[in-house]
Structure 1
Amino acid sequence: MLNPLRSLVLVCLSLVLATACAAQSIADNQRWAIEARRALDQLDYKSAAKAADKIAKSPATDEFQRVAADTLLRCGESKRAIELFERYLTQRPNDRPYLWQLGIAYYFAGRFKDGAKLFEIHREVNPNDVENAAWHFLCVAKAESPEKAKQLLLPAPNDSRAPMEEVLQMFHSGDVEPVKERMNSFTSGSAASRSANFYGHFYLGLYADALADEATAKKHLDIAAKDAPRNYMGDIAKVYAAHLKPKL
């Protein structure tokens, strides 16, 4: 049998090694997360996805798994993003209502009913977001029909971002002109104009996609992707535009 003192020493050594390994894992994940962020900022999606893949394959904490999932979605890898988002939710189930990103990933993966459900519960924590209502409309239109999507359109009052009020009206009425008029109401070249045009084209494209008007959807999403800001939805616009391209 082992000497008690020797046993204690071995236990202590094991704890030290485990702590050191855990610290190294955290340091590695921090480094890869920074690499992913920098690559996204530089529009280097291949390098960003590689960094996210390293996190995904490591014994990463929940938060790092979510970072990897977000990065992969922004790089167009929706199915792998879903895997990591859902892994994250096994440890953080109460976060599901906040995870609108997963709803977008569900759409790109063709899981329209799952997407619709996610956007419905997201409204419980974010009731004024027209973008959430828009993605819900899209998922219901794809899962059932545009008519059903109109019936189930989620309320989203008081979204002050241009042209979100007009976008919500468009889903009610089918009239795209107020969105275009609002987009054109700003001084050309201004920050407000760039933002309104990006989101306007994005959601004009999404609405056309919901109606199965592929040519119009592609036209607007291509414009949104071309002029996309360097942020989460800017990257999603590029993913969306690529998603609409004919599969060869």
Structure 2
Amino acid sequence: MAVPWSLISNTSTPDSHHSLFSSPSFSTSTFPKNHHGSHLFPTTTTRNFPKISTSVSGIWDAVTGGGGSSREALIAIRRGMVLFRQGDVSGSVSEFDNAIKLDPRQKAYLWQRGLSLYYLDRFEEGAEQFRIDVAQNPNDTEESIWCFLCEAQLYGASEARRRFLQVGRDPRPVMREAYNMFKDGGDPEKLVAAFSQGREGENFYASLYAGLYYESQNEADKAKVHLVASCQSPYGLRSDDYMASLAKVHCVCRKWEL
């Protein structure tokens, strides 16, 4: 399994497992290509990374058998995640790719890279990334869904559904329902309605995946309604969750006003 994000960062962390939930289309990125472009979101800058402690480095080395290159790879991943949150999607991929060069074992766990590749229209590479990740963690609902999202752009929704990655039962009701909707086809409006009175996080994820489902069906107007709603939800506005940042990146990529 991947080293938990709590071992990689000293900043506040989401309250769930290492998958996309804990962190998180048609045009290429509209963000700056360099790593020092304007920041779209007021998040931590690359200058403010907390250092990885010796104890954390030791844990990672014990898990991976690596040394300095493993620590440098973790730092590159952290830089990539911050760049993505800031809207520099191309820069984030450069950092994730650098992490793989430094420590090739990282590729099996780099779901963050798959998300960035989706927003650069690099769908085949994104699907490959998510398939590799699911092979390592066969219970990861969201990586299965994101593989579908990539392959829907490559082959169409029907073929992507035929190729759908089966994973274990997710403990989160909202993600179980989202998974079944993508796998079997369904009504995104029912997903949103089912969790409209639920916890803030459930409401956010229902809206996020309803919008993404509509995007996979090439229904951009309906996708916009739900993606914007996810950004404007209490969870989307306040949470440090990587996927809350992804929702904002998505809307900016599509040139949707928030």
After TM superposition, the score normalised by the length of structure 2 is 0.69
1:68 aligned partner: 79
Q: Give unmatched runs, 5+ long, in structure 1.
A: 1-32
Q: Measured at CA, do residues 116 and 126 of structure 1 come closer, stay the same or move farther in structure 2, by a change above 3 Å?
A: same
Q: Give the 3 Å change call, closer, same or farther, for CA 67–216 of structure 1 in structure 2.
A: same
* Partner Cα distance (2:132, 2:241) in 1: 24
Match of 1:183 among 182, 192, 195: 195
CA distance in 2, matches of 1:157, 1:103: 20
1:79 to 90, 93, 96: 90
The match for 2:212 among 206, 223, 231 is 206
Higher relative contact order by CA 8 Å / sep ≥ 6: 1 or 2? 2
For normalisation by structure 1, the TM-score amounts to: 0.72
Query: Any idea what the Cα deviations from partners look like across 1:46-75, whole Å, max 9, x if unmatched?
Result: 56345389x9xxxx9332222111100111
Question: What's 1:224 paired with?
Answer: 230
2:180 matched to which residue of 1?
A: 169
1:152: Cα distance to partner? 0.9
CA contact (8 A) 2:210 2:226 kept: yes
Q: What residue number does 2:164 align with?
A: 153
Offset, 1:174: 2.0
The root-mean-square deviation of aligned C-alpha atoms, in Å, is 2.6
- 1:115 aligned residue: 126
Distance (Å, rounded) in 2 between the aligned partners of 1:136 and 1:77: 22
- 1:245 Cα deviation after fit: 2.3
Give the aligned partner of residue 11 of structure 1: none
Distance 1:46 1:172, change over 3 A: closer
Greater Rg by CA: 1
Cα distance in structure 2, aligned partners of 1:206 and 1:235: 15
AA partner of residue 144 (structure 1): Y
Structure 2 CA distance for partners of 1:178 and 1:46, relative to 1, 3 Å: closer
Structure 2 residue identity aligned to 1:245: K
Change in Cα spacing, 1:47 to 1:128, as seen in structure 2 (3 Å) is closer
Alignment equivalent of 2:140, drawn from 129, 143, 149: 129
Could you tell me whether the CA contact under 8 Å between 1:103 and 1:116 is conserved in 2? yes
Quote the offset at 1:137 in angstroms.
0.7
For residues 13-63 of structure 1, the C-alpha deviation after alignment (integer angstroms, 9 at most, x for no partner) is xxxxxxxxxxxxxxxxxxxx98xx69xxxx98356345389x9xxxx9332
Distance 1:159 1:65 in 2: 30
Secondary structure class of the residue paired with 2:172:
coil
Deviation string 1:201-221 (CA, Å, 9 cap, x unpaired) is 111111111111101111111
- Structure with a larger share of its residues in helix: 1
Task: Give aligned-pair identity as a percent.
Answer: 27
Q: CA deviation at 1:193?
A: 2.0
Q: Distance in 2 between matches of 1:181 and 1:129?
A: 24
Does the 8 A contact of 1:204 with 1:217 survive in 2? yes
Alignment partner of 1:48: what SS?
coil
Q: Which runs of 5+ in 2 are unaligned?
A: 1-8, 13-38, 52-70
